[in-house]
Structure 1
Amino acid sequence: MKQIDLMYQTMLAELGQRSLDAAWTADFPPEGRFTPVTVKDRRYWYFDIPDGKGGKMRRYVGPADDQEIAQRVETHKREKDDLRARRRMVSTLTREGGMVAPDAMSGDIVEALAAGGLFRLRGVLVGTVAFQTYAGILGVRLPSAALMTGDADFAQDYSISHEVEDTLPPILELLQSVDPTFRPVPHRSGAAASSAFVNGSGYRVEFLTSNRGSDDYLDQPAKMPALGGASADPLRFLDFLIRDPVRTMLLHKSGVPVTVPAPERYAVHKLIVASRRHTDGQGAVKRDKDIRQAELLFEALQQTRRASDLALVYNEAWERGPHWQEGIWAGAGMLSEEGRDRLRDSLRHGSIQIGEDITMPF
């Protein structure tokens, strides 16, 4: 597995800082522009924003002689210059640096939900779109075959959604701002609430949450007050995946700050999930993809000297009990011989580093 040059890893970190610094542009987005207008011999600032239909929407800002507004206009000009610089950085990181850009639909959806506040409200991007960010996090090149997807998955802890006392704008409106053909998918339980949305070409957006205990909850959508009217499917093992997530950048347009699972948690979680997939149709395809992504992360974690991180989360999962151990055992059995050897070696080294014994029944 080829490593990404340190120069590009440093550029990714700078892109992340610049993108966070630019968050105030929600009121005056970079695609708009300030326009001076004279009314009865007095100049005022207005802000023109494209309406997506070839026209523009005009918003009143204030008098041109207001120094605070004048400063904001000047700052906006600098932000537009920085936006162009960030776009060039994203292009460099994906074309030359070996990092991964999402497909346009995935990028636009994540961007829209990020702008709506999903990550501010402690949502987590999961699934293959999250996996794409690990090239930058771990500093390694990932093969494209493991990066393809036709959906975007997001998770939020159930208790967090009920405690933050804030919410996204209506989810359907956010998705339809990307593609007007998005519609709710009827839940398999027959409940009126929807946890998934699909567009006219079959692209699927799904919301997930941690299961709260009994399996009785698994077939019912969970009400999520912070998700703008969307519910979420409760899944076992998801609490392990989204615990202690990390911040990084999705390399789309000028960069989108996102929160994703720690790569070592993603890898162990994929072992468990793979063991629970159906063995026919799409279940088999997804299982094979789970195993491939887990193997790639085990290799990357070993190569980047993060065996201790892997050992810690592996032990955490193993100590959660028999169902977890069965999942790890079965998932590890699906790895290639090379993949099992790499996992075994990483855990041995990691156990020495953390000073803990590790059970490896494979």
Structure 2
Amino acid sequence: MEITAHSRPAVVAYQDLLRLHLDERASGLVGTIEERKRNGRTYLYEKFRIGTEMVSRYLGEDKPDLRARLERAEALKAEADERRKRMTRLARTLRAEGFITTDRDTGSLLLAFSRAGVFRLGGTLVGTTAYSLYQGDLGVRMDYEELAQTGDIDFASFERLSVALEDKVEENPNEILKSLKFDPVPGVNDRQVWKWRQSRSEAMVEFLTPAFGDESVKPLPALGVSAQALNYLNFLIADPIHAVALYRSGVLVQIPRPERFAIHKLIVADRRQGGPDQLKARKDRAQAEFLVAVLAEDRPEELTEAYEDALSRGPRWRERIEASLKRMPETEQRLSALV
């Protein structure tokens, strides 16, 4: 498999654009920082007054980079005009360097969701839309035709986190979808809505959440939506990363780690074998093959850790991974060389 890297100026431009978007988000701090501890982790909130009422807004898990940005919030506010001009220039540079841009419908949806707080409150972009954003994180060129094969936009979040955050989106995603001409697709049995179809295209938006046995529809209170629970999804969206979708001057989103995405694709490809989604299974294997090829060369330690983690989760996990790898001898060889 031939892998073509982006130029060093393109990689640097992407990293700089991502940094500036993270600065931009932190610059919106208006209140004081409050810490809340849950299950051994510390989460940061912004506490401020609206009229006579004190309000808390979730900022993220307490990590050094977020803490450092929040402590510089006043300085970041002062740099806003120059930062936004630079973001526009960097986005222009990335387009000129051949980065695949997000189409208008997807870009406007991601921007609206980002402004509403979907990603801030634990929403993670998954599926092919997320896969396309690894061009920046990994610094590699991707096949445009492969990325254009689907109109699905999938979002996932942990149900327990959504409940525990005690915060909610500033605008309900259901209302955003309606304004973008998406129609709800009720479930067959309980009529709960977790997916939406756009009337003028084949685009589909789905909300997902990890299942631990029972694959039913569950609420995500922080996001204000219902979501289809799926097994194995907890592995995919654990410890996600930030990324920038190239629309306008960029949209800050959250996506799975590429090594977890690659291994998860091996699992779901086997789940789709023999069913109505066999064509999607081929796409799953192709995405896993590409990511494993890149990561085995550039980030072997991260790929090894994700692979061993998945194998350690039980015989059913191993069976699904092995079944997919039997169809992918080169990928199997790359992974076998790591462990």
TM-score, normalising length: structure 2: 0.79
Q: Distance in 2 between matches of 1:328 and 1:111?
A: 35
2:186 is paired with a residue whose SS is coil
- Opposite residue 339 of structure 1, the aligned amino acid is T
Residue in structure 1 matched with residue 255 of structure 2 by the alignment: 260
Displacement of 1:175 in angstroms is 1.9
Matching residue of 2:15: 13
1:213-256 CA-partner distances (Å, limit 9, x unpaired): 33xx31x310111122x100000000000011111211111111
CA distance in 2, matches of 1:193, 1:307: 42
- Opposite residue 300 of structure 1, the aligned amino acid is V
Q: Look up the match of 2:312.
A: 319
Q: Aligned with 1:185: secondary structure?
A: strand
Cα distance in 1 for residues equivalent to 2:144 and 2:20: 28
Is residue 112–residue 175 contact of structure 1 (8 Å, CA) maintained in 2?
no
Whether 2:323 is the aligned partner of 1:340: answer no
Residues 1-362 of structure 1 correspond to what in structure 2 (within 5 A)? 1-23=3-25, 79=80, 82-96=83-97, 98-148=98-148, 149-168=150-169, 169-177=171-179, 179=180, 181-188=181-188, 190-200=189-199, 201-211=201-211, 213-214=212-213, 217-218=214-215, 220-228=216-224, 230-279=225-274, 281=276, 283-304=277-298, 306-335=299-328, 337-345=329-337, 347=338, 351=339
In the aligned structure 2, how far is the partner of 1:173 from the partner of 1:25?
27
| Aligned partners of 2:13 and 2:93 also within 8 Å | no
Q: CA shift at 1:116, angstroms?
A: 0.5
> Secondary structure, in 3 states, of the residue corresponding to 1:275?
helix
| Counterpart residue identity of residue 308, structure 1 | E
Per the TM alignment, residue 341 of structure 1 is displaced from its structure 2 partner at its CA by 2.6
Point out the structure with the larger strand share.
2
Q: Aligned letter for 1:198? A: R
Residue in 2 that maps onto 1:50: none
How far 1:343 moved relative to its partner?
A: 3.0
Conserved 8 A contact 2:210-2:231: yes
Secondary structure at the counterpart of residue 334 of structure 1: coil
Percent identity (aligned): 36
Q: Distance in 2 between matches of 1:192 and 1:5?
A: 49
2:46 is aligned to none
Offset of residue 259 of structure 1: 1.1
Q: Which runs of 5+ in 1 are unaligned?
A: 28-71, 352-362
Post-superposition offset of 1:210: 0.5
Structure 2 equivalent of residue 53 of structure 1? none
**SS at structure 2 position matched to 1:197:** strand
Q: Secondary structure at the match of 1:226?
A: coil
Map of 1:46 onto structure 2: none
Aligned residues of 1:155 and 1:207 also touching (Cα < 8 A): yes
Which has the larger Rg? 1
Shift of 1:150: 0.3
What secondary structure does 1:195 align onto? strand
Equivalent AA in structure 2 for residue 141 of structure 1:
R
**For residues 327 and 95 of structure 2, what CA distance do their matches in structure 1 show?**
32
Distance 1:156 1:17 in 2: 24
- CA–CA separation in structure 2 for the residues paired with 1:279 and 1:91: 44
Code of the aligned partner of 1:135: Q
**Secondary structure of the residue that 1:115 maps to in structure 2?**
helix
C-alpha deviation, 1:4, in angstroms: 1.6
Paired residues of 1:101 and 1:132 also in contact (CA < 8 A):
no
Corresponding residue SS for 2:209: strand
- State whether residues 244 and 253 of structure 2, in contact with CA within 8 Å, keep that contact through their aligned partners in structure 1: yes
CA distance in 2 between partners of 1:120 and 1:132 (Å): 20
Amino acid paired to 1:314: Y
What is the identity, as a one-letter code, of the residue corresponding to 1:165? E
Mapped contact 2:123–2:223 kept (Cα < 8 A): no
Q: In 2, Cα distance between the equivalents of 1:80 and 1:307?
A: 40
What residue ranges of structure 2 are gaps of 5+ in the alignment? Answer: 30-73
Q: Is the contact made by 1:196 and 1:207 (CA closer than 8 Å) also made in structure 2?
A: yes
Q: Deviations over 1:37-89 (max 9, x none)?
A: xxxxxxxxxxxxxxxxxxxxxxxxxxxxxxxxxxx9xx79x745643442332
Aligned residue for 2:326, secondary structure, equals: helix
